[in-house]
């Protein structure tokens, strides 16, 4: 089998393109780096000479568009079959500031930093690691992360590491499979901490964690001062429960800044770098304003799910000063609901 991996990076564009020639078959996988890739069969059970020509033509066409072998940036792992992925993350409900401050002084809860990363899991099975987004779809991630996990002698068993990809660093906060679902989180955290110490990788770090009240208060204040995204509180005795509870739960998040997932609409005017934003209010879609697309960002395709941050929402639903953070391939349109919004206080509206 022959394989060629090509990459394109310019401005906000960061794409990968993989071509495989296997006898009389040619397959490709492509998409933004770090996202789930689209797979297509370009030639199946063709005469070998024809398949070879298709393979070479695809490579030539991509190189003509600026794609290169070898990368100027970080090498990413090759895509894998999504059917191989078995990742079911534990998702969080959001709390308000008052509840967050109460949990700071509750010894039953620890606190962790919440960064603006992508929720992923890394499944190690039979010595091979696969990365998945929170929807259970295989994705490519920085290759060094995969290599360091596969080569660590401490990982001589099947495990799943849960965490988030922050830039080129995997920040992990939980380990399952090896520990099972039946021991408290504080014990899983201790096991995870030892594993990450053993791996000793610059590409894999444990999520910053505060366990005592003094540690929680200090970390909370430090994160506020540097305008971090938010914090996560976890009950020390909680068990691993995949999915999101209908309300409450043993793992809760509090965001210092307001963010939400929206559906990209049409460009407001031809030639203008802004698109409408839409959310679901029940079964009805409502417009919540528009967001500017900066010159170093690609104009999103209609219907794409976008992540935006904003100062607050007005009661009629429009967002004040929205800023595009990026696309979300791990969020469905139906999840883009108006219930996400944080509204401006009555007293501020009167002013």
Q: Looking at domain 2-73, which of 3.10.180.10, 3.30.420.40, 2.20.140.10, 1.10.10.10 is its CATH number?
A: 2.20.140.10
| pLDDT for the residue numbered 347 | 29
Q: Kindly report the CATH number that applies to the domain delimited by 84-255.
A: 3.30.470.30
| pLDDT digit string, tens, across residues 2-61 | 888 888 877 667 888 889 898 888 988 888 876 777 778 888 888 888 889 889 889 888
Q: Is pLDDT above 70 for 234? A: yes
| pLDDT for the residue numbered 220 | 96
| pLDDT for the residue numbered 82 | 55
Q: Average pLDDT of the chain?
A: 86
| pLDDT for the residue numbered 46 | 85
Alpha-helix residue ranges (DSSP H) falling in 157-300:
185-199, 213-225
Q: In the structure, what pLDDT confidence band is assigned to residue 349 with cuts at 50, 70 and 90?
A: very low
Q: In the structure, what pLDDT confidence band is assigned to residue 226 with cuts at 50, 70 and 90?
A: confident
Strand partners, 277: 264
| pLDDT for the residue numbered 109 | 98
| pLDDT for the residue numbered 348 | 42
Mean pLDDT along residues 181-197: 91
| pLDDT digit string, tens, across residues 162-182 | 999 988 899 999 998 765 668
Q: Is pLDDT above 80 for 201? A: yes
Q: In the structure, what pLDDT confidence band is assigned to residue 215 with cuts at 50, 70 and 90?
A: very high
d(CA 320, CA 316): 11
pTM score, whole prediction: 0.71
Q: Is pLDDT above 90 for 194? A: yes
Cβ–Cβ < 8 Å for 97, 215: no
| pLDDT for the residue numbered 178 | 61
| pLDDT for the residue numbered 345 | 58
Do 84-255 and 2-73 fall under one CATH topology? no
Q: Which residue has the higher pLDDT, 196 or 80?
A: 196
User: Can you spell out the DSSP letters for 161-192?
Assistant: EEEEEETTEEEEEEEESSSTTSS-HHHHHHHH
Q: Kindly report the CATH number that applies to the domain delimited by 258-350.
A: 2.40.50.140
Q: Which residue has the higher pLDDT, 332 or 316?
A: 332
| pLDDT for the residue numbered 38 | 77
Mean pLDDT along residues 312-341: 88
How do 284-292 and 274-281 pair as beta strands?
A: antiparallel
| pLDDT digit string, tens, across residues 298-323 | 788 889 999 999 988 988 779 999 99
Among candidate residues 74, 70, 76, the one with its CA nearest the CA of residue 140:
76
| pLDDT for the residue numbered 73 | 53
How do 169-176 and 68-69 pair as beta strands?
A: unpaired
Q: Is pLDDT above 80 for 65? A: no
Can you give the residue ranges of every domain in the chain?
2-73, 84-255, 258-350
Mean pLDDT along residues 127-147: 87
Rg (CA), the chain: 22
Q: Which residue has the higher pLDDT, 299 or 248?
A: 248
| pLDDT digit string, tens, across residues 253-284 | 998 888 999 999 987 666 678 999 999 999 99
């Amino acid at each position: 089998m022959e394989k060629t991996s090509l990459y394109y990076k310019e401005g906000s564009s960061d794409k990968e393109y993989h071509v495989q020639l296997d006898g009389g078959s040619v397959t490709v996988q492509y998409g933004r780096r770090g996202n789930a890739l689209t797979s297509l069969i370009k030639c199946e059970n063709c005469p070998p000479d024809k398949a070879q020509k298709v393979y070479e033509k695809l490579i030539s066409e991509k190189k003509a568009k600026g794609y290169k072998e070898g990368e100027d940036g970080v090498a990413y792992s090759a895509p894998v079959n999504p059917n191989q992925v078995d990742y079911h993350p534990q998702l969080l409900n959001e709390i308000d500031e008052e509840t967050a401050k109460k949990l700071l002084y509750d010894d039953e809860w620890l606190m962790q930093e919440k960064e603006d990363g992508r929720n992923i899991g890394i499944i190690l099975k039979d010595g091979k690691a696969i990365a998945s987004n929170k929807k259970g779809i295989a994705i490519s991630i920085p290759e060094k992360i995969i290599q360091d996990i596969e080569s660590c002698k401490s990982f001589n068993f099947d495990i799943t590491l849960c965490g988030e990809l922050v830039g080129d660093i995997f920040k992990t906060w939980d380990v399952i499979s090896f520990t099972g679902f039946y021991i408290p989180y504080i014990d899983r955290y201790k096991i995870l901490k030892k594993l990450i110490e053993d791996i000793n990788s610059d590409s894999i770090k444990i999520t910053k964690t505060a366990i005592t009240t003094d540690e929680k208060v200090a970390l909370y204040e430090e994160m506020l001062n540097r305008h971090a995204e938010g914090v996560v509180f976890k009950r020390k005795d909680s068990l691993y429960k995949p999915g999101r509870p209908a309300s409450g739960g043993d793992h809760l998040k509090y965001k210092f800044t307001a963010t939400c997932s929206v559906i990209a609409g049409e460009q407001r005017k031809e030639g203008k770098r802004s698109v409408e934003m839409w959310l679901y209010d029940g079964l009805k879609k409502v417009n919540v304003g528009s967001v500017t697309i900066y010159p170093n960002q690609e104009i999103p395709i209609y219907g794409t799910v976008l992540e935006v941050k904003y100062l607050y929402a007005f009661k009629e639903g429009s967002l004040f000063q929205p800023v595009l953070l990026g696309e979300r391939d791990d969020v469905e349109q139906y999840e883009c609901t108006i219930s996400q919004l944080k509204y401006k206080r009555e007293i501020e509206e009167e002013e």
